[in-house]
Amino acid sequence: MTMPAARVRLATPDDAPALPPVDRSAGELFRSLPELAWLADGAGMPVARHRELIAQGVAWVAVDRDDAPVAFLEAEVFGDELHVWEVSVHRDWQSRGLGRALMTAAAEHAMRAGLAALTLTTFRDVPWNGPFYTRLGFVPIAEPDLSKRLRQVLAHEVAAGLPAARRCAMRQRVMPRR
Q: Cβ neighbours of residue 92 under 8 Å, at least 6 residues apart?
A: 3, 25, 70
User: Is the whole model's pTM more than 0.85, yes or no?
Assistant: yes
Strands 167-173 and 81-89: unpaired
For 68-124, how does the pLDDT look when each residue is reduced to its tens digit (9 = 90+)?
999 999 999 999 999 999 999 999 999 999 999 999 999 999 999 999 999 999 999
pLDDT tens digits, one per residue of 29-79: 998 988 988 888 887 889 999 999 999 999 999 999 999 999 999 999 999
The pLDDT of residue 3:
52
Residue 31 main-chain phi, psi, to 5 deg: -65, -20
Ramachandran area for residue 28 (φ above 0: left; ψ -120 to 50: alpha; else beta): alpha
